[in-house]
Structure 1
Amino acid sequence: MLNCLMVTVLTPTYNRVNTLPKLVDSLCRQTRTDFQWLVIDDGSTDDTEAYMETLKQQNLPFEWEYHKKENGGKHTALNAAHPYIKGDVVLILDSDDYLTPDAVETVEREWPCYRNRPDLCGMSYFRGKEDGTHLSVANPADFYVADHLHYRVNQGIRGDHCEIVRADLFKKYPFPVYPNERFMAESWLWNTMALNYKTVYRNKTIYICEYLEGGLTKSGRALRMKSPLGMMDDCRSYLNDEVCLKVRVKEMLLYWVYARCAGYSFAKALSTSGRPVGMTLTAIPGWMLYFYWKKKYLK
């Protein structure tokens, strides 16, 4: 007999009214409908609010809520969701993506096997493309248990995953928010939780998205440089002894870039990094990278 589990599918959205119908259709096609769909509108200026109003007439087969806030970036929308979450676990579904028909059923069937383990923060499934391929390498075993830092960060396992995170931990670690900054890397959350919790990794795709090859776009790098305080927090989440030296050095270089973007002095950058020795050794190449990126991305 299938165990019942309330899942909150959380969708932060901003000016994506054209893609929301496909997302809603995927939710209506779920083989289990005992879940909450929570939409946090980050100040959309298109017809998102009007579209959400039309859904009230459609008798959707699942519980849903819509809340609109002032624009502040995706991370602020995720934080704003905290008071409205009803599920035991949260699945973040971006507004231009959608779920496979068995996504909720899969989580509700599998998470109860692990929900009583206090050392686990959630589960991680594959994100895939419409052609059936997924965006990351297969895990060493199905239902593989490991922490994010040792498994994915230290081994360089890239590719977007669909993470299912315990609601209590999602609320326990709100994203840092700084005035006038519109971006915060979600990796901060997974890195922070990995210091105390492990994840169950599954070789199964439940989330479909468009995937652009080539890594960070020019606009993406500029956005990060315009949100330096948040990105410094993200860099610090890698600067601990659980992370391999290669990654720590990379993040120290990035820390110098963002510290310069924030107007930090040499001394302030050192004192706030938590790694003064390593930061001293990476200061010159870090500052050179800052001037190169400033010319390239912040014209």
Structure 2
Amino acid sequence: QEAPFQVKLIKNKNIGKYKEMNKVFPIIDTELLLFLDSDDYLIDDGVEMIKEKWEQYQNDSNIGSLIFERGNGNDKDPFYKISQEIISHRYYYLIKNKQYGDYSDVFVTKHIKSYRFPEFSGEKFMSEGPLYYWLSQKYKSIFIPNILTIGAYQTGGLTRNIRKNQINNYQGTLYETNLYLNKDTPFLFRIKKAILFNYVTLKSPQNYRKVFLHSEHKFLLCISLLPAYLLSLKKIDVS
């Protein structure tokens, strides 16, 4: 049976999601854009839900994305609940309210087409965090208390795997983490990210002294160095 819409398939080698996103941005010609991981899927009426909500806000040029909940294996139990529909800057709102979980972001394509992640040779991992940060500096998002996509985290070793990815892809991690050390981010969150920055630097081939001397955030790195050093003493298999 013929699909009721056009499907465009573009195949690449496994270069990493953030690099794939860089390749996709220039060629997307739809009004909205949703990145759906291979182990996630839309709810049955997901497209209709997006369309209905977008029709309410499509004339507002300040809106950069629609943010829905992500279901934990079903359409009743979200990983992280959105309490009510609200319009705010994604990054700043979530950090202020200490909501650090995964959501389903539907982007307004024209507002993100110009963004590009910096690419680092030999590295495949960087989260979508920089995109959320860049977008939040210019546009607002609509937080919608409905599940749009469903997925499931693999149990066991999640934090450990994140740390391994961060260390093995240290250049991307340091780039991303450095964004969150700026003064537009709440101080306690900056401290948390400074610890991560120090930790990854200590565990990587980087020369810590050189990285420190080139940093614009020396005070944060100084006061977070001891906890980062103690954390770095824990053995993590990054092979």
Query: Would the TM-score normalized by the shorter structure come out above 0.5?
Result: yes
The answer for the alignment partner of 2:237 in structure 1 is 297
Are the aligned partners of 2:126 and 2:173 in contact in 1 as well (CA < 8 Å)?
yes
- The amino acid across from 1:114 in the alignment is Y
130, 134, 150: which one aligns with 1:192: 134
Cα deviations by residue, 1:187-228 (Å, 9 ceiling, x for unpaired): 221122212222110011111111346783423321221000
Matching of residue 235 in structure 1 with residue 177 in structure 2: yes
Q: What SS does structure 2 have at the residue aligned with 1:172? A: coil
Q: How far has the Cα of 1:281 moved from its partner?
A: 1.7
Alignment of 1:260-271 (within 5 A): 260-271=202-213
Flag the 1:156–1:115 CA change in 2: closer, same or farther, 3 A: same
The answer for the alignment partner of 2:68 in structure 1 is 125
Q: Percent identity?
A: 25
For the residues of structure 2 that align with 1:117 and 1:233, how far apart are their CA atoms? 32
For the residues of structure 1 that align with 2:98 and 2:28, how far apart are their CA atoms? 32
Q: Greater relative contact order (Cα 8 A, min sep 6): structure 1 or 2?
A: 2
- The amino acid across from 1:59 in the alignment is E
CA RMSD after TM alignment: 2.1
Alignment of 1:215-234 (within 5 A): 216-234=158-176
Q: How far has the Cα of 1:279 moved from its partner?
A: 1.1
Q: How far has the Cα of 1:151 moved from its partner?
A: 1.6
For the residues of structure 2 that align with 1:163 and 1:288, how far apart are their CA atoms? 36
Are the aligned partners of 2:195 and 2:228 in contact in 1 as well (CA < 8 Å)?
yes
Matching of residue 136 in structure 1 with residue 80 in structure 2: yes
Question: Unpaired runs of 5+ in structure 2?
Answer: none
Are the aligned partners of 2:130 and 2:176 in contact in 1 as well (CA < 8 Å)?
yes
For the residues of structure 2 that align with 1:62 and 1:215, how far apart are their CA atoms? 40
For the residues of structure 1 that align with 2:138 and 2:121, how far apart are their CA atoms? 29
Are the aligned partners of 1:126 and 1:204 in contact in 2 as well (CA < 8 Å)?
yes
Question: Unpaired runs of 5+ in structure 1?
Answer: 1-57
163, 172, 191: which one aligns with 2:105: 163
Are the aligned partners of 2:164 and 2:236 in contact in 1 as well (CA < 8 Å)?
no
Are the aligned partners of 1:149 and 1:243 in contact in 2 as well (CA < 8 Å)?
no
Flag the 1:103–1:92 CA change in 2: closer, same or farther, 3 A: same
Matching of residue 281 in structure 1 with residue 233 in structure 2: no
For the residues of structure 2 that align with 1:245 and 1:271, how far apart are their CA atoms? 21
Are the aligned partners of 1:256 and 1:269 in contact in 2 as well (CA < 8 Å)?
no
Are the aligned partners of 1:270 and 1:279 in contact in 2 as well (CA < 8 Å)?
yes
For the residues of structure 2 that align with 1:112 and 1:214, how far apart are their CA atoms? 41
Cα deviations by residue, 1:222-255 (Å, 9 ceiling, x for unpaired): 1221000101121122112222111110100111
Q: How far has the Cα of 1:63 moved from its partner?
A: 1.0
